[in-house]
Amino acid sequence: MSTLLQEIEAQIAGVKTSVARQNVGSVREIGDGVAKIEGLTDAMLNEMLDFGNGVTGLALNLEETEVGAIVLGDYTSVKEGQEVRTTGRLLQVPVGKGLLDDDRVRQTVQQIIAQKPRGYLAILTHFQRLVKLDVARRTARIESAIQLPESLSTAIQANLARRYGPGLAVSFAQKPDLIGGLRVQVGSDVYDGSIRARLAALAEAF
């Protein structure tokens, strides 16, 4: 996953929340992967749009009478007059079966760079930030004062998979200053059951 982030960073350098409401519009003009859409009065900036037949787009330019969008996929299948719907979903990191989909991430970045919509560098930077957040969310670090038995390590990984889903990148580290117990961090979630943490809590109580 770190390699994927490096690829996105390199490509950016080289080119140097949901809502229930749905809105329907139609394609007024299409060319070079960019569509101009009428009727999407409720569209949000960076919102994913549904062009039908599995083709999605990204709302980039919100004007009073129309929305400019980049088509993420085969834009040759998009025709004038075609129906387009808002989804209520902002730009997301592509996933498959609950896991970060490296190939789809690369494809999305390549399409944005190739089509170069207005503000595409900002879009790439935003997308890179989403990928970093997803990578962090899928990374687990378990710290213990001594090396854990293999059976306990396996049980911990199984428990984390049940709680956070499959695909976690799990690492183990020894930190004698914990004295005993475990400290587990998954993304921004931290569970500190170490003796060091308990002693610190007792010290604060007095």
| pLDDT tens, position by position, 58-105 | 887 788 888 888 887 677 889 999 999 998 877 655 555 555 566 667
Same domain (yes/no): 113, 201: no
pLDDT score at 96: 53
Domain span holding position 146: 139-205
Same domain (yes/no): 117, 80: yes
Buried-state track 14-41, b at ≥16 Cβ within 10 A, e below 16:
eeeeeeeeebebebeebeebbbbbebbe
Across the range 109-136, mean pLDDT stands at: 72
Domain end point (choices 135, 150, 183): 135
Same domain (yes/no): 75, 170: no
Same domain (yes/no): 104, 13: yes
The string of pLDDT tens digits covering residues 164-183 is 877 788 899 999 999 999 99
Cα 17 to Cα 127: distance, rounded to the nearest angstrom = 15
The domain tally of the chain equals: 2
With a threshold of 0.95, does the pTM exceed it? no
127 or 66, which is more confident?
A: 66
Half-sphere exposure of 121 (CA within 13 A, CB side): 6
Residue 144 has pLDDT above 80, yes or no: yes
Same domain (yes/no): 116, 39: yes
Across the range 118-133, mean pLDDT stands at: 72
Q: For 39-151, where are the E strands, in sequence order?
A: 47-52, 55-62, 66-72, 83-90, 95-96, 99-100, 139-144
Measured distance between the N- and C-terminal CA atoms of the chain, rounded to whole angstroms? 45
